[in-house]
Structure 1
Amino acid sequence: MTTATASFAGRTVSRLGYGAAQLGRLSERRDDAVALLRRAIELGVNHVDTAEFYGFSFANEVIREALRSDDDVLVVTKVGADPNPGGRVPLRMAQRPEQLRASVEDNLRSLGVDRLAVVNLRRLDSGPGLRPEGDQMVDLDAQLAEMTALRDEGKIGAIGLSCVTLDGLRRALPAGIACVQNAYSVVAREDEDLLRLCVAEEIAWVPFFPLGGAFPGLPKATDEPAVHAVAESLGATPSQIGLAWLLHHAPNVLLIPGTADPAHLEANLAVAGITFDDATLATLDAIESRSNDVRLG
């Protein structure tokens, strides 16, 4: 049995939140985007993950419009990349300390707030995605110094890390880390040692690509026969089983599945009610883990 809530940055949040990356699909239907986010909040979501580069600031603008002062929603954003409209990859690296600061200011403006509750520093050290080159190869300590300064100035409340290695997290621990966001799923569990360190240090683990398969060449949880068999036996979808496994796997896991569809939103949030017996969990644990290290750019 899993608990419904967990601690994150000094707050108690539902373990099922909402990732705003898919809101950009509704850029021509702004009212629908606002209604979708309102529906998520009505269903108990109080943790929303976003970034300035999601929909080229559209996601942040929708969050600003949709959230009310009494909703008490923890909004988490990230820096380390900026929007790149028209580029082959729709974001560009922004790793230098002055770029991190500028990205914090951009998020403050688009979200319409004076302080960002949690800001993830998106590194480029691990997992699928871009890799740093030239002046974007920045030492973690220099970045953490800037993030700490921003926290001291009151512009951000807590610091998280994304696409970080085990050694990187160990180096960052003295700065005070609230969460780690890495690509992780039942079919891609390379970061198991990193997850164990987060459990020990009471750091929230917020996996992106929680079902794998977001880029060509990545393994997909929904391609696994064992996932389909469990889904059929429990009357759930394979996607729901992949998400539910994450909640059962470690107590500090917080999920932020994204969608632009209200029915899919409700299906994602229904995962909280899925339970596994020991045999079922062992079946899912036995799925082979494959690499999710796919480069872009």
Structure 2
Amino acid sequence: MTSTALPGGIWTMGDLDVSRFGYGAMQLAGPWVMGPPADHAGALAVLREAVELGIDHIDTSDAYGPHVTNRLIREALHPYPQSLKIVTKVGANRDDQGGWPTARDPESLRRQVRENLDRLGLDTLDLVNLRLGDGQGQVQEPIAEAYGTLAELREQGLIRHLGVSNATAEQVAEARSIAPIVCVQNMYNLAHRDDDALIDELAADGIAYVPFFPLGGFSPLQSAALSGVAGRLGSSPMSVALAWLLRRSPNILLIPGTKSVTHLRENIAGAGLELSADDLAELDKIGR
């Protein structure tokens, strides 16, 4: 059963009711998201603890490892609780050097969906995000063929809901013109707020926004400002950043990752940190 004790409450993606605080499985793979974890039993323990604590959506990809995190999720949690939703991502492969070459032609996308289904042990994927751009960031390019392929797989019953990741506002609009989306997963945090207008637009339309790298790309000055607020509150910069994201907009969902049960609990507690109006005003200056 979905827990309401997690910070942020509940958001509905399509017909999926999920806690706004989720878990990102990316860090369970080895260094640079390649190979198995150093502590296999510890990785399984984190996944089981996440579900025990009430987390009901896990973000993953068969490219993580590659194939590592999906296998861990299946080993730890299958048969899955009815309340658990697994969100995966397609659109990139891994090479021997740890790179992320794009793989968005129709056959590659169909193969990736099949592989996610097989390794997770599912008949239908709850939500599939199409990863756009490249390893350097967003790329303004047409997405109709790739997104249309996933829309066809959705019509076939292999996917329940669709989203996009690393997408420009124009690509989000293009995707929405082809088939409904229930979430956008982009880089966003206190220091990188290019998507402010997009977040507000999506919130008005009932579409979730899932930020990645909640502490990514801070300048030394911005990091110092965040640390100053955290110190005054007797908390960590990560806790303040997560709490701010939950306060930023009701459609923001969090998927912080960790390899540690202790850190998992700390992330949940940190996201529930109370921020005053003065705290929010001071934090807001970081991204300006």
**TM-score, normalised relative to structure 1:** 0.87
Q: Which residue number corresponds to residue 186 of structure 1? A: 190
Task: Please list every run of 5 or more consecutive structure 2 residues that lacks an aligned counterpart in the other structure.
Answer: 1-6, 31-35
| 1:160-187 deviation line (CA, Å, top 9, x unaligned) | 0001111111122131001000011001
**Aligned match of 2:122 in 83, 94, 113?**
113
Aligned partners of 2:282, 2:137: CA distance in 1, in Å? Answer: 34
Aligned partners of 2:108, 2:11: CA distance in 1, in Å? Answer: 32
Per the TM alignment, residue 276 of structure 1 is displaced from its structure 2 partner at its CA by: 1.1
Aligned partners of 1:176, 1:235: CA distance in 2, in Å? Answer: 42
Q: Which residue number corresponds to residue 28 of structure 2? A: 23
- For the Cα contact (< 8 Å) 1:20–1:50, is it kept in 2? yes
Of 18-27 and 236-245, deviating more is 18-27
Cα distance change of structure 1 residues 93 and 10 upon mapping to structure 2, 3 Å threshold: same
- For the Cα contact (< 8 Å) 2:92–2:131, is it kept in 1? yes
Per the TM alignment, residue 131 of structure 1 is displaced from its structure 2 partner at its CA by: 6.8
**Aligned match of 1:90 in 91, 99, 102?**
99
Q: Which residue number corresponds to residue 177 of structure 1? A: 181
- For the Cα contact (< 8 Å) 1:81–1:122, is it kept in 2? yes
Q: Which residue number corresponds to residue 241 of structure 1? A: 240
- 1:14 aligns to 2:25 (yes or no): no
- Cα RMSD, aligned residues only: 2.1
State percent identity of aligned pairs. Answer: 40
Aligned partners of 1:203, 1:222: CA distance in 2, in Å? Answer: 33
* Count of matched residue pairs: 275
**AA partner of residue 64 (structure 2):** Y
Aligned partners of 1:78, 1:165: CA distance in 2, in Å? Answer: 17
Q: Which residue number corresponds to residue 283 of structure 1? A: 282
Tell me the secondary structure at the aligned position of residue 187 of structure 2: coil
Aligned partners of 2:116, 2:43: CA distance in 1, in Å? Answer: 19
Q: Which residue number corresponds to residue 150 of structure 1? A: 153
- For the Cα contact (< 8 Å) 2:147–2:175, is it kept in 1? yes
Tell me the secondary structure at the aligned position of residue 287 of structure 2: coil
Aligned partners of 2:120, 2:233: CA distance in 1, in Å? Answer: 40
Tell me the secondary structure at the aligned position of residue 255 of structure 2: coil
Tell me the secondary structure at the aligned position of residue 200 of structure 2: helix
Per the TM alignment, residue 220 of structure 1 is displaced from its structure 2 partner at its CA by: 5.7
Per the TM alignment, residue 198 of structure 1 is displaced from its structure 2 partner at its CA by: 1.0
Aligned partners of 1:220, 1:256: CA distance in 2, in Å? Answer: 23
**Aligned match of 1:161 in 161, 164, 167?**
164
Q: Which residue number corresponds to residue 205 of structure 1? A: 209
Per the TM alignment, residue 279 of structure 1 is displaced from its structure 2 partner at its CA by: 1.1
Per the TM alignment, residue 225 of structure 1 is displaced from its structure 2 partner at its CA by: 2.5
Tell me the secondary structure at the aligned position of residue 86 of structure 2: strand
1:224-239 alignment, distance < 5 Å: 224-239=223-238
Aligned partners of 2:221, 2:258: CA distance in 1, in Å? Answer: 16
Q: Which 4+ residue blocks in structure 1 deviate beyond 3 angstroms?
A: 220-223
Q: Which residue number corresponds to residue 263 of structure 1? A: 262
Per the TM alignment, residue 223 of structure 1 is displaced from its structure 2 partner at its CA by: 5.3
1:70-81 alignment, distance < 5 Å: 70=81, 72-81=83-92
Q: Which residue number corresponds to residue 4 of structure 2? A: none
- For the Cα contact (< 8 Å) 2:93–2:100, is it kept in 1? yes
Cα distance change of structure 1 residues 219 and 233 upon mapping to structure 2, 3 Å threshold: closer
Cα distance change of structure 1 residues 221 and 209 upon mapping to structure 2, 3 Å threshold: farther
Aligned partners of 1:79, 1:61: CA distance in 2, in Å? Answer: 16
**AA partner of residue 77 (structure 1):** T
**TM-score, normalised relative to structure 2:** 0.89
**Aligned match of 1:66 in 69, 76, 84?**
76
Task: Please list every run of 5 or more consecutive structure 1 residues that lacks an aligned counterpart in the other structure.
Answer: 213-217, 290-297
Aligned partners of 1:222, 1:57: CA distance in 2, in Å? Answer: 38
Aligned partners of 1:232, 1:27: CA distance in 2, in Å? Answer: 33
Of 227-236 and 10-19, deviating more is 227-236
- For the Cα contact (< 8 Å) 2:137–2:166, is it kept in 1? no
- For the Cα contact (< 8 Å) 1:79–1:121, is it kept in 2? yes
| 1:65-91 deviation line (CA, Å, top 9, x unaligned) | 11243352110000000122x22x432
- For the Cα contact (< 8 Å) 1:76–1:117, is it kept in 2? yes
Tell me the secondary structure at the aligned position of residue 93 of structure 1: coil
Per the TM alignment, residue 221 of structure 1 is displaced from its structure 2 partner at its CA by: 8.8
Of 58-67 and 166-175, deviating more is 166-175
**AA partner of residue 187 (structure 2):** A
Per the TM alignment, residue 48 of structure 1 is displaced from its structure 2 partner at its CA by: 0.3
Cα distance change of structure 1 residues 57 and 198 upon mapping to structure 2, 3 Å threshold: same
Per the TM alignment, residue 33 of structure 1 is displaced from its structure 2 partner at its CA by: 1.0
